[in-house]
Structure 1
């Protein structure tokens, strides 16, 4: 693995109240994400937060989209809703952008690629909830866009541990370096 810290960014994806709250009873699973965030800041690696949220009235949600139609029917998850704000455990600093996406991939409908290109970032370090949602979709799209990719396996969480294992051990290594947070931090020294 090459060290791309000068052109890298850490993506902290879907660490918003409505999603992180599912893991409130076991905050220990969130510690690797906090550690990755602290290390990126220490090593001056840009941090970009990504959240999912919708406009009032859900004009971005197609009735053919199963996942997001259920959100629109239940209400909430609008960009001003508390559920879409970044959780206090991961509070963005003043210079860290918060990008809003409208689908699973961090790129879809967001300004992420514009921010990355304007900062000449060509390497992404991925973390987020869920491994089978935002991480998988973002990894696939980023790989197609020719970004160098690292997935922090213990800074990704999925409701299904077996799905997480299969993705991080068998699927992701085809397109990304898959490291633990500690292993990644060791590459920064």
Structure 2
């Protein structure tokens, strides 16, 4: 959402900077990842499978699985999540041309893309492919899967503090490694 919002003139003026952790803005997701996330049988074991697709193993994984199971049982939650995969009655309507990520070429808002090196849900080079179109974009890599904020919040927070410091300082390079990691 942050990347797409940055391209909207009526919204972009409200954003001073944006960071996307594994969020591609739509493209560059893998078919295998989409298929694996689109099915859920309601069991603890299957929720654990989904969480393991998103995260590395971490000490509180069982608690996180239980939390997600409780959330999935909330009225409307599962339907809302599952609805993303449903066909709409508007499929036959003329489709507008989606210029994203090329539309990022005019964005001046500082953008940061955080890419997990072990993320199998998106294509490995997604962040660099987006950055090719966005002159205000920097790419940061982290040794993690899709959701490092869940399985390694300390490293993710340290990286975010680094990013914010660089955005505020106006650093000009385009590739960065997370603190404590190498390229």
Larger-gyration structure (1/2): 2
TM-score (norm 1): 0.31
TM-score by length of 2: 0.31
